[in-house]
Amino acid sequence: MKNSFRKLIPVAAALGLVFAASSAQAFTLKNGAGVTYVTNATSLDWNSTGSGVAKNVASGVALTEGKTFDFLYQANLSSVAGKTTSTYRANLDSTADGAPNDDGAFEFTIVAKLSEYVKTSSVDLVNGTVSATFGLQNIAGANKVAIYYDTKANAFTSAGTGFDDGVMVALLTVDPNVTLSTFTTTIATGNGLGSTKMTATVSEAGDFINQNYLAGLTKLSFTYDSNLNLPAGDSLTNTFHGGAGGDTTLFPTYNVKAGDLVFKVDGATSVNVPEPTSIMLLGMGMLGLVGAKRRRAPKA
């Protein structure tokens, strides 16, 4: 099993070089009708009460290598890195209690669906833990992220409703080749902690970014970072993508079932534009790794 983790080191190193060679792209957050909320925005911070569910991986089902499962996610916007306007500060509803905080309230929400598989899995009997790394299946339409804008401001964590019933302002595809996800759980308690880094871009038919809401976002990648916690605590929910009027074709409503694992997911989205040096740095990094491997090779 140690060899499996060692195989991931070159991949992680290469990914780090790509991210290091990217620059943040500033954009303007708007309401679709000309009102500006935030200028020089570089990242969107989603509520720490965001929820995720891994379908049918509980109830003693082993996380064996190659096992596939679906993962769903939903959260509302809690803050933006940028120069905020008074309208934004007064009216952003950053809670997810199912009701607007005032008459002028608005919210941005995010939902996602992922088709995952277990890359590696190991058991540490000394520390009583199970650890796994995950990847995405390369299936068209299976790995999607959408951002919504809604003046109803009705996202409701415990019920799982109101996250996908507004105006869809962006639809992106998660790149299965630029995803790194890990999770470790304690055998005795079932508690666990994990992290995910993934990149989403406009790459499949139907993907888009509405410039009336996310002005200035053109050639870019959304890098999403999150922490996953089990048990879900204040992120516990019964339903995913349960917004009335939501796109049930892309994001069908899902009711949590026995055998599912619900997580607390605290995530943030940063916007990056790869610089021309990215490819060079990636190549140099891979060459360095190859050189190191050769140096370690035993002499004849």
Q: Of 110-119, 180-189, 200-209, 220-229, give the lowest mean pLDDT range.
A: 220-229
Could you tell me the pLDDT band of residue 11, with boundaries at 50, 70 and 90? very low
Please tell me the distance from the alpha carbon of residue 22 to that of residue 211, in angstroms, as a whole number: 22
pTM of the model: 0.82
- Is residue 44 within 8 A of residue 108, CB to CB? The reply is yes
Per residue in 251-271, pLDDT (tens digit) is: 999 999 999 999 999 999 988
Per residue in 21-30, pLDDT (tens digit) is: 455 679 999 9
pLDDT higher than 50, residue 284: no
Note the pLDDT of residue 133.
96
Please tell me the distance from the alpha carbon of residue 129 to that of residue 184, in angstroms, as a whole number: 7
- Is residue 205 within 8 A of residue 14, CB to CB? The reply is no
Note the pLDDT of residue 177.
92
Share of the chain above pLDDT 70, in %: 79
Domain boundaries, the chain: 1-21+276-293, 28-274
More confident call, 19 vs 119: 119
Count CB atoms within 10 A of the CB of residue 39: 17
Note the pLDDT of residue 64.
85
Q: Of 226-235, 237-246, 249-258, give the lowest mean pLDDT range.
A: 237-246
Q: Which residues pair with 106 in a beta bridge?
A: 92
Listed ranges 122-136, 208-222, 247-261; the one with the highest mean pLDDT: 122-136
Note the pLDDT of residue 63.
76
pLDDT higher than 90, residue 277: no
- Is residue 233 within 8 A of residue 220, CB to CB? The reply is no
pLDDT higher than 60, residue 4: no
Could you tell me the pLDDT band of residue 217, with boundaries at 50, 70 and 90? confident
Could you tell me the pLDDT band of residue 242, with boundaries at 50, 70 and 90? confident
Please tell me the distance from the alpha carbon of residue 29 to that of residue 37, in angstroms, as a whole number: 5
Note the pLDDT of residue 81.
96
Residue type, 212: N
Please tell me the distance from the alpha carbon of residue 251 to that of residue 109, in angstroms, as a whole number: 14
- Using DSSP's 3-state secondary structure scheme, residue 296 falls into helix
Note the pLDDT of residue 292.
44
| Contacts of residue 264, Cβ cutoff 8 Å, sequence gap at least 6 | 48, 49, 50, 51, 52, 228, 229, 230, 231, 232, 233, 234, 235
What is the overall mean pLDDT for the chain?
84
Please tell me the distance from the alpha carbon of residue 180 to that of residue 198, in angstroms, as a whole number: 6
Instruction: Determine the distance from the C-alpha atom of residue 5 to the mean position of all C-alpha atoms in its chain, rounded to a whole number.
Output: 23
Per residue in 111-125, pLDDT (tens digit) is: 999 999 999 999 999
> Three-state SS string across 112-168, please?
EEEEEEEEEEEEECCCCEEEEEEEECCCCCCCEEEEEEECCCCCECCCCECCCCCEE
